[in-house]
A and B are shown apart, each in its own frame.
Chain A
Amino acid sequence: MIWLVFALLTGAAVMAVLLPLALRGEAKDASAADVAFFEEQIAEIERERAEGRLEPAEAEAARTEAARRLLRAEAAPKGRSAGSRKAALFAALFAIVAIPAFSVPFYLRLGKADLPDMPLTARLESQPEKGDLAGAVARIEQHLREHPEDGRGFEVVAPYYLRTGRGEEAIDAFSKALKLLGPTAERHATLGQARMIVAEGKVTPDAKKDFEAALALEPGNVMAAYYIGVGAQQAGEKDKAVAIFSRLEAEAPADAAYLPSVKKRLAELKGEAAPAPPFAQAPAQGPASAQGKAIAAMPARQQQAMIRGMVDKLAARLETKGDDVEGWLRLIRAYSVLAEPEKARKALADARKALAGKDGEVARVEALAKELDIGG
């Protein structure tokens, strides 16, 4: 179909050249154009004189000048030029052959004729592909633009925003969900947590308000209580923080996942600061990474687990797909930060093997090994 359109366009382009070649005619001689010009000029002078815009004397002077030039133009040798059939035929053949012969291969080099238009609305209406999270979110966004009263939609996209670094939008979506679906402790607490993550782990006044609202609805809400404790700790209200964490510790079931973080907080507050795990202060991947922020804001135990998971995933990926110097660098650094020199050394050896033959990349790995002092 598209090639039919292309063929028609090509035909039109060729016709633009052929049409004038088919018509016969005589060229307008250059001196004829001059003659016409001066004749017109003289007529113009007469008209102006008649309308009274030129004084007779002025008009006379101008007329003599134009007339003199007219005579000279008329005296110029006349060159006639007509079309020759042979040249026209040659040009026509040239156009018929050259235009498609140039355009089609040139286009094929640049274009993607079989790639259809992809207007956004059509893509949003089509069946989503499996595992295409971004596409699913785009569809929900589209739906939300048409139905901005659908709080469930906001609740679904908000955590996605938070994970992909769109913090402000996450806060916006969480608060809309809260407003539209009605307040619950859970919603207030997650909104407060989102605010905290955007503020790089600080319990801002807004976040605090949310946690307090959550507690007002459900006094036993652990997340809200925990973060209010963190806020108190950040604000230097030690006694209040200790009171909150102690209560959480007392009320927690023995196997609660948050218990270790609460204990660690208490230990910090009571001055018997356990050495913080290495990633607790280190910004994970630079300040721009929301995931890093999210991790930094998690309780310490969860942090460790999360980081482990990521590192394991990275290691597994590199095992099957070793041609990724950035990946290796990250893995080696991660093991060394997690204080696992064995694994770091093994990763170094694997990296050397996987990147064999790429001197520049191996050199980068070696440089890192030297920096971390895990040579061997």
Chain B
Amino acid sequence: MIVETGHYALVLALALALAQFAIPFVGARINDVALMRVARPTAIAQFLFVAAAYGALTYAHVVSDFSLVNVIENSHSLKPFVYKISGVWGNHEGSMLLWVLVLSLCGALIAIFSATMPDKLRADALSVQGLLGAAFLLFILLTSNPFARVDQPPWEGRDLNPILQDPGLAIHPPMLYLGYVGFSIVFSFAAAALIGGRIDAAWARYARPWTLFAWTALTLGIAMGSYWAYYTLGWGGFWFWDPVENASLMPWIAGTALLHSAAVMEKREALKVWTIFLSILAFSLSLLGTFLVRSGVLTSVHAFASDPDRGVFILGILVFFIGGALALFAIRAGSLPVGGLFSPISREGALVVNNLLLSATCATVVIGTLYPLALEALTGEKISVGPPFFNTVLIPIALPLALLMPIGQMLAWKRGDLGAALQRLRAAFAVGVLAAAVLGAWQGTPFLSIVTAGIAVYLVVGALSDLALRAKGAAGFSFRRLLGLPLSAWGTSIAHAGMGLTLLGLAATGWGVESILSMKPGEYYDVGPYKLAIEEISPRNGPNYSEVYASMAVRSGGETVARIEPAKRFYQARKMQRSEAGIVTLGLGQVYAAIGESHADGSIDARLYWKPLVTLIWIGALFMAFGGGLSLADRRLRIGVARRAPAALPEAAE
């Protein structure tokens, strides 16, 4: 009964989503406040019904109800409890349901936190949100129904793909979806502004927290995903420029650009049209990512063509919403008021440069991801666009962007003084050059790592020195003043510094050590500054797998500093193998080992890595997300003060 109730709740959610779309939309057109206000309770009710459906599906997974096809295909009665819950979203149907759950949650959040918003803007935004929900609910019910049942249930399920049975997967998709779908709110706001034909002064203020929220969640989601790939795939790589990864990176880059342009819009009422455009773009790229991952296009263009139900449906949704929003934009953008003006050398100007560079980055990733797919579809030729392409194109964009970040922070709004900004970054430059020299002398080539590391250190110091300079009033540096700085200023600096830390971690990959070898038990092998030896190889049984693990001692200077246990697991139900890397963090670097085939003479194939500073990649992402969170916590208005403006300012600026 619980299962079927969940199923019916999902159908009701679709009916409510349609009501949430139609009634407020009509209300906003005929200016009827009662109809417009239908938006809020329906949005909340829609969320509750989707949540009920999601709860019912989770229940079915937890109690191993094998009368559901979804449970048969993705669960096993012996699977650990946590993975029974995470298994709900570890498959196509369930993850689409989670997608819609987050989408309806976003709708409910708009409904709850929009008391100060003009009725019309809210009605239109929730109406768009309702239409999005309806489209995806229809997709789920017609092509990917998680509640499909069988009359003769089997006694055991086929288990969840072992690669997905991991704590990383338990958190990664919900975070990622919060990010992806969080941008739907900004999208709905943008569409509402275009439909209503006016951008309220407060538009950016309404949109900002949601942008920050989505961006923060997406940052964490991507970081988690990359760490998960790093330790489960057993190759020591954390980013493969794989289309699935790019699918999450594209909206992140667009979202980063949006975050910055929205700041300009809120503080200075400039870049309005561009901000609206980015709002549409960020969510469009989320939809594109969903399409790429969920349609089957990636496994093979041909698989998609032979079983087109799902793919074509999502493609339809994609074309309808992106096309519709862009068409709306094309029609309305001309009539939108253009906001405040500014000189090229100013905070606004720096943010425009930031936006241009980010757009170029985003376009690169989009092209690199879609080109091989298009080529395969048109000519049948399979090519793979991998790290060489992305590194060649993106590094020359990313490094100047990193150089500009602290400079932008130092420039004043409206019109700035480049010379003064550079002067205030003297210390950061010096530290950066020094760091590059020291690291170069210590670790040596590659040259790119040295340069990148220097820029990264400069970025961290530059981002933080902005805080220090702002704390220095007329009476010198004051600690109280530092603590009294607005949270949003802290957020900016910490997020920028986080970017620097990530960059430093990336730079250090050039100094990593990798060795692929056959290890004999008891003998020591060099890995960077450490030595590794296998002490024991033996089998062991887990709840739904059996494994062979190698217990390895990590030694430094004759002393054992850590023990790791890389393993090779075999999952009986799926007859699949998975390697479990043995990782130990030493300082900021990591020793990473993965084992392969064992040989008759007792030796075992292994891949050993020493990855200096590698944890900084994810620590940096945590800092970025923390900065986003701080900025989100700052509920005050953002005021763009023209700091260095001379008193007798001509009125030309407005």
Residues of A within 8 A of B (CB): 1-2, 5-6, 9-10, 12-13, 16-17, 19-21, 23-30, 32-34, 36-38, 40-41, 44-45, 48, 51-55, 57-59, 61-62, 65-66, 68-69, 73, 79, 81-84, 87-88, 91, 94-95, 98-99, 102-103, 106-107, 110-113, 115-121, 123, 134-135, 137-138, 166, 168-169
Given A58-B645, A117-B65, verify A20-B41 contact (CB < 8 Å): yes
**Which one of B116, B198, B473, B642 lies within 8 Å of A61 (CB-CB)?**
B642
Q: Which residues of A have CB within 8 Å of B65?
A: 117-120
Q: From residue A236, how far is it (CB to closest CB) to chain B in Å?
A: 19
5 more contacts with CB within 8 A, not counting A44-B639, A65-B340, A111-B147, are A5-B5, A20-B40, A57-B645, A84-B30, A118-B65
Q: From residue A254, how far is it (CB to closest CB) to chain B in Å?
A: 45
Contact A118 B66 (CB under 8 A): yes
B258 interface residue per 8 A CB criterion: no
Contact A58 B641 (CB under 8 A): yes
21 A-B pairs within 8 Å (CB atoms) are namely A2-B5, A13-B15, A16-B45, A19-B41, A27-B120, A30-B196, A33-B200, A53-B484, A79-B31, A83-B35, A87-B32, A88-B34, A103-B11, A107-B11, A110-B147, A112-B4, A123-B155, A135-B155, A138-B156, A166-B572, A169-B572
Contact A5 B1 (CB under 8 A): yes
Q: Which residues of A have CB within 8 Å of B473?
A: 52
Q: Which residues of A have CB within 8 Å of B117?
A: 28, 33
B154 interface residue per 8 A CB criterion: yes
Q: Which residues of B have CB within 8 Å of A99?
A: 12, 15-16, 19
Contact B41 A137 (CB under 8 A): no
Q: What residue in chain A is nearest B123 (Cβ atoms)?
A: A27
From DSSP, what is the main secondary structure of chain A's interface residues? helix
Q: Which residues of B have CB within 8 Å of A88?
A: 32, 34-35
A361 to B121, CA, bound (A): 62
Contact A30 B153 (CB under 8 A): no
B654 interface residue per 8 A CB criterion: yes
Q: Which residues of B have CB within 8 Å of A79?
A: 31
A67 to B654, CA, bound (A): 13
Mark each residue of chain B from 148 to 165: 1 if its CB lies under 8 Å from any CB of chain A, else 0.
010101111000000000
Shortest 3 CB-CB distances between A and B: which pairs? A83-B34, A16-B45, A119-B63
How many chain B residues touch the partner (CB < 8 A)? 80
Contact B642 A120 (CB under 8 A): no
Q: Which residues of A have CB within 8 Å of B302?
A: none
Q: Which residues of B have CB within 8 Å of A137?
A: 155
**Which one of A12, A21, A27 lies within 8 Å of B119 (CB-CB)?**
A27
B36 interface residue per 8 A CB criterion: yes
A168 to B5, CA, bound (A): 40
Mark each residue of chain B from 537 to 570: 1 if its CB lies under 8 Å from any CB of chain A, else 0.
0000000001000000000000000000000000
B60 interface residue per 8 A CB criterion: yes
Mark each residue of chain B from 58 to 85: 1 if its CB lies under 8 Å from any CB of chain A, else 0.
0010011111000000000100000000
A116 to B147, CA, bound (A): 13
B37 interface residue per 8 A CB criterion: yes
Question: Which residues of B in the span 631-654 have a Cβ within 8 Å of any Cβ on A?
Answer: 636-637, 639-643, 645, 647, 649, 654
**Which one of A37, A40, A57, A112 lies within 8 Å of B647 (CB-CB)?**
A57
B3 interface residue per 8 A CB criterion: yes
Q: What residue in chain A is nearest B413 (Cβ atoms)?
A: A62
Contact B639 A110 (CB under 8 A): no
Given A5-B5, A28-B119, A103-B11, verify A23-B23 contact (CB < 8 Å): no
B486 interface residue per 8 A CB criterion: yes
Mark each residue of chain B from 310 to 340: 1 if its CB lies under 8 Å from any CB of chain A, else 0.
0000000000000000000000000000001
Q: Which residues of A have CB within 8 Å of B149?
A: 112, 115
Q: Which residues of B have CB within 8 Å of A119?
A: 63-65
Contact A27 B639 (CB under 8 A): no
A81 to B8, CA, bound (A): 37
Contact A16 B44 (CB under 8 A): yes
Contact A37 B205 (CB under 8 A): yes
A120 to B154, CA, bound (A): 10
Contact B153 A111 (CB under 8 A): no
Q: What residue in chain B is nearest A30 (Cβ atoms)?
A: B118
**Which one of A13, A53, A84 lies within 8 Å of B45 (CB-CB)?**
A13
Contact A117 B3 (CB under 8 A): yes
B49 interface residue per 8 A CB criterion: yes
Q: Which residues of A have CB within 8 Å of B67?
A: 115, 117-118
Q: What residue in chain A is nearest B38 (Cβ atoms)?
A: A20
Contact B66 A61 (CB under 8 A): no
A106 to B8, CA, bound (A): 9
Contact B34 A16 (CB under 8 A): no
A120 to B157, CA, bound (A): 11
A13 to B10, CA, bound (A): 12
Question: Which residues of B in the span 15-50 have a Cβ within 8 Å of any Cβ on A?
Answer: 15-16, 18-19, 23, 26-27, 30-38, 40-42, 44-45, 49
Q: Which residues of A have CB within 8 Å of B45?
A: 12-13, 16
A45 to B27, CA, bound (A): 37
Q: Which residues of A have CB within 8 Å of B451?
A: none
Q: From residue A138, how far is it (CB to closest CB) to chain B in Å?
A: 4
B201 interface residue per 8 A CB criterion: yes
Q: From residue A97, how far is it (CB to closest CB) to chain B in Å?
A: 11
Contact B1 A116 (CB under 8 A): yes
A23 to B33, CA, bound (A): 10
- A1, A24, A54, A119: residue with the most chain B Cβ atoms closer than 10 Å: A119
Q: What residue in chain A is nearest B3 (Cβ atoms)?
A: A117
Contact A115 B37 (CB under 8 A): no
A36 to B34, CA, bound (A): 23
Contact B64 A41 (CB under 8 A): no
Given A30-B118, A37-B201, A58-B643, verify A134-B155 contact (CB < 8 Å): yes
Q: Which residues of B have CB within 8 Å of A9?
A: 5, 8-9, 12, 49
A137 to B154, CA, bound (A): 12
Contact B41 A17 (CB under 8 A): yes
B145 interface residue per 8 A CB criterion: yes
B468 interface residue per 8 A CB criterion: no
Question: Which residues of B in the span 599-654 have a Cβ within 8 Å of any Cβ on A?
Answer: 636-637, 639-643, 645, 647, 649, 654
Q: Which residues of B have CB within 8 Å of A30?
A: 118, 120-121, 196, 198, 200
**Which one of A33, A68, A87, A123 lies within 8 Å of B34 (CB-CB)?**
A87
B202 interface residue per 8 A CB criterion: yes
Contact A6 B19 (CB under 8 A): no
Q: Which residues of A have CB within 8 Å of B5?
A: 2, 5-6, 9
Contact A117 B60 (CB under 8 A): yes
B2 interface residue per 8 A CB criterion: yes
Contact B4 A113 (CB under 8 A): yes
A30 to B63, CA, bound (A): 51
A79 to B34, CA, bound (A): 16
Contact A103 B269 (CB under 8 A): no
Q: Which residues of B have CB within 8 Å of A87?
A: 26-27, 30, 32, 34-35
Contact B200 A54 (CB under 8 A): no
A16 to B40, CA, bound (A): 9
- B30, B45, B49, B205: residue with the most chain A Cβ atoms closer than 10 Å: B45
